[in-house]
Amino acid sequence: MDRALRVGIIGGGFMGEAHARAARSAGAEVIGVLASSQESSQRAARSLGAEAFSSVAELAGAADVVHVCSPNGLHAEHVRAVIRAGKHVVCEKPLSTDHATADGLVREADEAGVVASVPFVYRFHPMVRQARHLVQQGEIGRLLTVQGQYLQDWMLDPSAWNWRVDPAESGASRAFGDIGSHLVDLLEFVAGERIRRLSAITSIAYPERDGHPVSTEDAAALTVEFTGGAIGSIMVSQVNAGRKNALTIELAGTANNIVFEQEKPDELWIGGESSTRVISRDATVLGDDAARLSAVPAGHPMGYVDAFAGFVRDTYAAIQGSAPEGLPRFADGARANQVIDAVLESARTRQWVDVGEAAVEPLAQSSSAPASPASVTRPATAKETA
């Protein structure tokens, strides 16, 4: 394509802005936005410096790719309208409010031959790719135990309200759907294994918020077993005082243990029985995939905004015909929905639930695609740029 990609955004909130920022940093033109009402579309359009649109069909008609950042309950309708217009689509997580619908969206996107991705953006921290590389290289040995936590506190205030509290907008799961989906994706992505079965309990901190009864969970605790036999525990909470976006994964094997903390994304903790070290991001010593995402030389901190930009850049590279390593596609979004459904079922029945893997693209397939030659170019080191 000899012109910039034209991007449409559905959703006028925080995520819409994050997508627009990343789209621009990937060299695209943000042409328009559609929000929940005419006024919010106009407000969002002013803040994004784009045009306000009044229907998905109109926006999809004018764009090459549409980013769906509407409430979860509207994802399927919006995604279908974009796919039916023959346009590429990025859809926020959770892809849908249930696994069957998410699976249907995977099929529709495949049949239409469009690129369809889900912003599991934490995959795009270079040190996450390095952790995955080390696991693939056998650095941790045979995986024995896995721990994952994703803790926030923005729902701690009893009067805190957000569309996510309402199951009609958010789906039956709140905290797990919103942030547990990221955590599960990251754990399976780095481990290269699936969660085979799980047992979950969920809790609701306040039966009412702002006079409305609450049915969506504030916290979920899981015991899990992975396909290779490793066991693990997962804690997700949006009512954990003082924790803002504390996503941590720990994969311990027969040789070493690897810990990645999202709030310190430029580091990886590697524990060994006789020595423990912290490695800092430095493209000169990282694996190819971590190095290509390492956008600035060592010593220049990278973070969430960069990870988001990396995700959008790779989505657009896929649209241009390359096959970027580790791009989370709709099949990965549907996989998260499969785990969310299993969590809700286990919490309801108080039973272990086999998560199942049917219709989910195996990890090896999504990770074995050759990176395009341009995508493995290492950025210049501080020395080279000095």
List interacting residues with ligand SOE (CB under 6 A): 152, 178-179, 182, 245
Q: What share of the chain is helix, strand, coil (3-state, %, to 5)?
A: 40, 25, 40
- CA 106 to CA 216: how far, in whole Å? 26
Residue 213: asked if its preceding bond is cis (omega within 30°), the reply is: no
Nearest residue to ligand SOE, scored by beta-carbon proximity:
178
- CA 223 to CA 251: how far, in whole Å? 15
Rounded alpha-carbon distances, angstroms, from residue 9 to 65, 286, 328: 9, 34, 19
**Helical (H) or strand (E) element with 349:** helix 330-349
* Shortest distance (Å) from residue 292 CB to ligand SOE: 22
The residue among 78 and 182 lying less far from ligand SOE, judged by its C-beta, is: 182
CB 270 within 8 A of CB 261: no
The residue among 150 and 269 lying less far from ligand SOE, judged by its C-beta, is: 150
- CA 196 to CA 202: how far, in whole Å? 19
* Shortest distance (Å) from residue 157 CB to ligand SOE: 14
* Shortest distance (Å) from residue 179 CB to ligand SOE: 5
Q: What is the largest CA-CA distance in the chain?
A: 62
* Shortest distance (Å) from residue 261 CB to ligand SOE: 14
* Shortest distance (Å) from residue 362 CB to ligand SOE: 25
The residue among 189 and 226 lying less far from ligand SOE, judged by its C-beta, is: 189
User: Three-state DSSP class for 214?
Assistant: coil
* Shortest distance (Å) from residue 336 CB to ligand SOE: 11
CB 34 within 8 A of CB 53: yes
The residue among 179 and 214 lying less far from ligand SOE, judged by its C-beta, is: 179
The residue among 73 and 271 lying less far from ligand SOE, judged by its C-beta, is: 73
The residue among 5 and 179 lying less far from ligand SOE, judged by its C-beta, is: 179
